[in-house]
Structure 1
Amino acid sequence: MAAAGGGLGALGASEAVAAAQALSLPAEAYGNDKLSSANAKPNIEMIWAMKAYQHAEVYFNLISSVDPKFLKLTKVDDQIYAEFRKSFGDLKIDVLDPEELKSEPAKAKWRPFCMQFDGVVEDFNYGTLLRLDCSKDYTEENTIFVTRIQFFAIETARNREGYNNAVYSRAMDTQSAAAETGGSA
């Protein structure tokens, strides 16, 4: 995954500080940010998207380089996993159906699950990118925007239940093949 068109790196020091301060607030603090002139400050939605993209990039690199079954995403992974499987025991997590996350009935079921982590998981309600098919990389077609606690719940389950092993195995195979040919992965 490569950085998109300048992104946060294109910001000056004062703009980067303003962006960092803006990102310290929860998503509910913002409506749609409309740019009012050509000289307007960077769009808050763009900054949120860049932060979500960077989180996704770091996470994908992590599951590509460390066996996912050993990953601990939060201090309360055991609690998140137990509550997730209690509430969503039959949810298919290898390839997610967006309706299971975004439909009105799904939102009604997810809301109480998410809210129990308010004050337990930092930034539990921040927006994060999640892969729909866990065997694939983050692409426009394979990505959905969810809350951070939904990400932690699903990815912790994917790691513990072995679904993210395909990403790790593919990365290790690529490294082995590169080592055998004297190249780099």
Structure 2
Amino acid sequence: MENSSNLHDLDLDNKQGSNVSLPSGSAEDYINDPLLEQQWAMKAFQHAETYFNLLCAVDPKQLRLSRHDDKIYSHFRQLFPDFKIDTLDENEIKSNEAKQLWRPFCEEFRDLVEDYNYGTLIRTDSKGEYSSENTFLVVRIQFYAIEIARNREGYNDSIRHLYGSKKL
């Protein structure tokens, strides 16, 4: 399967040329607005595309996702020492019990990491590419924690060799 078709099956093709500006106001004023959902989806897609292209191009162990990688990684592994990062179980992140564990971790970075709570796409299987079957939504700080750990612990090492010639 080619990378170019995997993210495009999310139906985000040719939507980036929109001249609509992003709204400023209370989130409650914009609930279920299809245009906002589409704009968010494009931003999430672009973030995923950029990140995967970086994984395809450089050694993940050398990749820095933020200037706070060391703190994010050490705090993540301190609170979640046995968290399985090679293949994610969405329930371990999104169940009510999991949310109670993740919330203090996320809030620890509220004033440190810009956009710490933005919705961000993450790959379920670290050996796979972004696709509708291998992707779900987390907040940005969860993405950073898991992907920094995957990079440092070697779980993303195969991406460059498997997909290096392909770009999303």
In structure 1, how many angstroms separate the alpha carbons of the residues matched to 2:91 and 2:32? 27
Q: Within 5 Å, which residues of 2 pair with 1:136-151? A: 136-151=128-143
The secondary structure found in structure 2 opposite 1:128 is: strand
| Structure 2 residue aligned with 1:8 | 16
Match of 1:32 in 2: 31
Q: Is the 8 A contact 1:131 1:137 kept in 2?
A: yes
1:90 to 82, 87, 95: 82
* 1:32–1:45 Cα contact (<8 Å) kept: no
CA distance in 2: counterparts of 1:63 and 1:135, whole angstroms: 11
In the other structure, the counterpart of 1:80 is: 72
Deviation at 1:7, TM superposition (A): 1.1
Counterpart Cα distance in 1 of 2:105 and 2:80: 9
Pairing partner for 2:36 from 18, 33, 44: 44
Aligned-pair identity (%)? 49
Specify every segment of 5 or more residues in structure 1 that has no aligned partner in the other structure, as ranges.
36-42, 176-185
Structure 1 length-normalised TM:
0.79
Q: How much is the aligned-residue C-alpha RMSD, in angstroms?
A: 1.9
TM-score normalised to structure 2 length: 0.87
**Which structure ranks higher in relative contact order (CA pairs < 8 Å, sequence separation ≥ 6)?**
2
Q: Does 1:158 align with 2:153?
A: no
SS of the counterpart of 1:156?
Answer: helix
Q: Which of 1 and 2 has greater Rg? A: 1
